[in-house]
Amino acid sequence: MKMYQKRINEYGITVGSLPRGQRNKITDVEGVRVGHCTIDNGENKTGVTVIIPGPGNLFTEKMPAASFVWNGFGKTAGLLQVDELGTLETPIALTNTLNVGLVHDALVEYTLEQCEKDGVDLWSLNPVVGECNDSKINRIGHRAVGKEEVFAAIQNAGADFEEGDVGAGKGTICHGLKGGIGSASRRILLDGKSYTLGVLVQSNHGKLEDLTVDGIRLGAGLAVRSLGDTPVDQGSIMMVVATDLPCSTRQLKRILKRCSVGLARLGSYVGHGSGEIMIGFSTARRIPYAPNQDILECQEISERRMDLCFRAVAEATEEAVLNSMVCASPGQRLDGQIVHSLREFL
């Protein structure tokens, strides 16, 4: 049975002004599913989180996609082709730094199986895998995440999913407190129709004394209490954005860049040793692997209405990070130091 998790808005903290989706998660975008596989045994405290953008075979029916790297201290796979071709052709998987290769291989196996069932000859593939370094809590050299865990996460994927120290967030630390997986969504109205934009984060960044919640520099007081040793802003955050807005990949990249506003509101200054990476996709259309026409149709948002999208993604990112923290239980580092949860101080 899924455990009830109290999220940041239930502590009386309201982020932004735009309306939230039904679940206030990335899965408010129709068709999107999220699954985890969590490893918690001995020194292995890590996992994998998979975001499935929609039904069917993504390789044969791709989605418009884009990415933006704010600070590139990261080992993410697949962004080069996403930016060149503007398409996503596999689920997006998040894991720890040393497991990127094994998770990449698992996504290849998963897509090969799908294509074999569909009678499609697969000769090239661009899996997208993001990572954060969870080595303070997890014995990362054990490389505990592989094909079995990735397939389990895919099998477990659904519209409702847990947040906090689960999946790829099991061993992460955010602003010196326990980090993890968090999500939020916003709805916007364009031409009389409601659209949804959702964000999922794997939070593992920030300096404790800089943490700002609801406009209050909460972390400064916590740092004085020596609750965590975060001398620098480092560690990385993965941000995945989903939307049903019809937009070009150029517009999608513009939207992604505003995830940075949400991080800045929380006090992050994007330190040298941190990787802030944003990946986004639109479910508004599918791009066939072998189209039967030369010219493909594409709708775009009017540029004069982009501000609504920018506000939506900034608000959702800020709230997603806070949800990742308050939904996470306290943890313990390999050196024995306790990593507290933000919810202990709200």
Per-residue pLDDT of the chain (346 residues; tens, 9 = 90+): 566 889 999 999 999 999 999 999 999 999 999 999 999 999 999 999 999 999 999 999 999 999 999 998 999 999 999 999 999 999 999 999 999 999 999 999 999 999 999 999 999 999 999 999 999 999 999 999 999 999 999 999 999 999 999 999 999 999 999 999 999 999 999 999 999 999 999 999 999 989 999 998 888 888 766 565 556 666 799 999 999 999 999 999 999 999 999 999 999 988 888 889 999 999 999 999 877 888 888 889 999 999 999 999 999 999 999 999 999 999 999 999 999 999 999 8
Closest CA to 145 of 96, 108, 179: 96
First to last CA, the chain: 26
Please name which of 255, 138, 284, 277 lies closest in space to residue 201, comparing C-alpha atoms: 277
Domain ranges of the chain: 31-287+296-334
SS (H, E, C) 220-258: HHHHHCCCCCCCCCCCCEEEEEEECCCCCHHHHHHHHHC
As beta bridge partners, residue 240 has 200, 279
Active site residues: 236, 274, 276
pTM, full prediction: 0.96
Distance of alpha carbon 61 from alpha carbon 246, whole angstroms: 16
Q: What are phi and psi of 345, to 5 degrees?
A: -120, 10
- Strands 128-132 and 92-96 turn out to be parallel
| Type of residue numbered 261 | V
Q: Which of 30, 330, 1, 317 is nearest to 173 (CA)?
A: 330
Q: Give the strand pairing for 92-96 and 44-52.
A: antiparallel
CB 281 within 8 A of CB 53: yes
Domain 31-287+296-334 has CATH 3.40.630.90: no
